[in-house]
């Protein structure tokens, strides 16, 4: 079965993962014009999605942005230079993924989606799955799990919450 491709005008390249040093990822996050709390959230999402920079899709997709779910906002069209296909980690289904021109442009899309979903400290979320204030790293972990990871209201795993809080505490030192 063919994988849907919402970017037929872009080349399809072979899928690969690349290790990207966390220093380069942190610099990309620091370079974008978003609030400190959104940048902190982006840092945590990227660490979770890439296993600390070890599994970056085609070297620029830091958060698993897919190309088979419809087109992203037109303002991202110039950031997307190709697509690739690979089995999704969670389901094993063949999926399409976008390839970005730069890490910073991937971070831009990520930060916009974090804001849209309200997955950052200081937000009141009325999302599809998470409802409530996000005033602590624990609440942020729960909102992230519901709105980003699971797409369902779930009870967050205590170990994952502890890891999330640890990463949040690290992010406080990096993004001030």
The CATH code of the domain that includes 131 is 1.10.530
Q: Taking each helix axis from N to C terminus, what angle separates 158-174 and 137-144, rounded to the nearest 10 degrees? A: 120
Does residue 10 lie in a domain region? no
Task: Please give the helix or strand (H or E) that residue 125 lies within, else none.
Answer: strand 123-126
Domain that holds residue 60: 17-174
Does residue 12 lie in a domain region? no
Does residue 138 lie in a domain region? yes
Question: Cα separation of 141 and 119, whole Å?
Answer: 8
- Number of structural domains in the chain: 1
Does residue 7 lie in a domain region? no
Token reading at 57: 């899709």
Q: Which long-range contacts (CB under 8 A, 24 or more apart) does 90-95 make?
A: 94/1, 94/3, 95/3, 95/66, 95/68
Decide: pTM greater than 0.75: yes
- Write out pLDDT tens, residues 78-104: 999 999 999 987 788 999 999 999 999
Token reading at 132: 């409530």
What integer pLDDT is reported at residue 1 of this predicted model? 64
Does residue 47 lie in a domain region? yes
Does residue 9 lie in a domain region? no
């Amino acid at each position: 079965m063919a994988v849907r491709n919402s970017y037929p005008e872009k080349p399809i390249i072979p899928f690969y993962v690349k290790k990207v040093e966390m220093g380069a990822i942190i610099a990309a996050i620091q370079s974008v014009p978003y609030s400190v709390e959104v940048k902190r959230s982006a840092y945590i999402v990227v660490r979770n999605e890439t296993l600390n920079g070890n599994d970056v899709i085609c070297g620029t997709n830091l958060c698993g942005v897919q190309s088979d779910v419809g087109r992203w906002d037109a303002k991202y069209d110039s950031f997307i230079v190709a697509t690739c296909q690979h089995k999704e980690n969670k389901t094993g289904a063949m999926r399409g993924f976008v390839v970005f021109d730069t890490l910073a442009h991937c971070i831009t899309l990520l930060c916009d989606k974090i804001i849209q979903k309200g997955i950052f400290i200081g937000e009141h979320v009325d999302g599809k799955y998470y409802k409530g204030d996000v005033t602590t790293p624990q609440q942020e972990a729960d909102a992230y799990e519901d709105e980003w990871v699971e797409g369902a209201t779930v009870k967050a795993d205590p170990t994952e919450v502890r890891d999330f809080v640890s990463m949040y505490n690290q992010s406080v030192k990096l993004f001030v």
